Structure 1
């Protein structure tokens, strides 16, 4: 697994409904995720995108199947749709919190935290409280918090879903900049086809429930990417193809 960060093999997930019925959320998920790869996962609502991330984050368990990690399954960061910052803590206290919980607040890690805050454009806002931040700034703080303990893999569950279109575009550029700097492996759930094409090396298309992988599309667009790439015929061909796959 020298170039593989995660190997997902024959993963299934069955939930027990309140009325006792069995509901299959995921069926036969197979995927190899390469180190430092940016993968987006798209599909209709209820197809199991978030369930797959929760299983990878050990917040849920597969009914059966195998997930192999090159490194520890514990060394991951998770960014939710809501920034979930603690309102009584400052930006710095929020992003430092995982280091304190994991007892990793070493001099080296705190110095790296300062670099991440600068990289995310939050330098000078360390003493601000969440109520004083814009939606985009809250999400950037959430990303820094997830990166604070240097995880191997970053899982992102529709992190820009609650943002307006302009802020969402800016956050996409910010995320790409941070990714290019940190070389993290990222799995990114989104409902936006254009966003998935813009960000990703590959796009995973999932079927309606029970969720399975319908198709995997390689995105062969040059990096680093700017918003100008969205005006190219190649970009729009990928968007068109993904729309066709989604039906």
Structure 2
């Protein structure tokens, strides 16, 4: 078995509101997969279903061969959601602590690896937005789950910090190769980071197209200037705006 996530025939409604319709999505082990789509198309709802927060109206979700339930994924939300009364190292090990196996030494080692050496005993309000996002990602990474779900984690950052976080995330991911499901509104971000991109329609969300990203790894951020990258970005934009060329 090579699938970290397998979504088959997934549909979900909240009362009379149909949000997702007949989705088929696969994330292989070690694969970085992104989902792009219009606002309100149900991308975050999909994460809630994958994370076991909701039970789907129809279809199936398997994570490493198990039916989706709470505790099977590492999750990074749009906002860092750090506990303000806990030190940075204590925030990093929170998921581990819940499982009764917090490793402070490993947390300090990872903080050093991601450029946060010397911040272990600080508190969230003492860190910049980008630094807080690094802490939130480490918390998900150190949860030891095979599948990491990242829900628009860089949307609140300014352009320069976002670019820095792209470089940082690619470096960390290359070194670990966890399976990642990444939600974003940003087509360029999806193409820069991903192996595969699923393009969602407006609600109820269906998969308009599954795109295999043709650029090799390790991937440099200047790939965005490649004519093939520009062409692919234009095609995905046209898919989302409904104006194919």
Q: Verify same fold: TM over 0.5.
A: yes
Name which of 41, 62, 81 aligns with 1:84.
Answer: 81
How much has 1:131 moved relative to structure 2?
Answer: 0.8
How many residues end up aligned between the 2 structures?
A: 238
Q: How far apart in 2 are the matches of 1:112 and 1:233? A: 42
Taking the TM superposition and a 5 Å limit, the aligned residue runs for 1:106-121 are: 109-121=103-115
1:99 aligns with 2:99: no
What is aligned with 1:122? 116
1:170 aligns with 2:178: no
How much has 1:69 moved relative to structure 2?
Answer: 2.1
How much has 1:119 moved relative to structure 2?
Answer: 2.7
What is aligned with 2:12? 13
Name which of 174, 187, 195 aligns with 1:193.
Answer: 187
What is aligned with 1:179? 173
What is aligned with 2:135? 141
Name which of 202, 219, 223 aligns with 1:225.
Answer: 219
CA RMSD in angstroms comes to 1.3
Task: List runs of 5+ in structure 2 lacking aligned partners.
Answer: none
Q: How far apart in 2 are the matches of 1:14 and 1:41? A: 19
User: Any idea what the Cα deviations from partners look like across 1:125-150, whole Å, max 9, x if unmatched?
Assistant: 10111111000000000001111221
Q: How far apart in 2 are the matches of 1:217 and 1:36? A: 17
How much has 1:32 moved relative to structure 2?
Answer: 1.8
Q: How far apart in 1 are the matches of 2:118 and 2:239? A: 45
* CA separation of 1:71 and 1:123: change in aligned 2, threshold 3 A: farther
What is aligned with 1:214? 208
What is aligned with 1:66? 60
What is aligned with 1:19? none
Task: List runs of 5+ in structure 1 lacking aligned partners.
Answer: 17-21
Is the contact made by 1:91 and 1:128 (CA closer than 8 Å) also made in structure 2? Answer: yes
TM-score by length of 2: 0.93
Q: How far apart in 2 are the matches of 1:168 and 1:238? A: 21
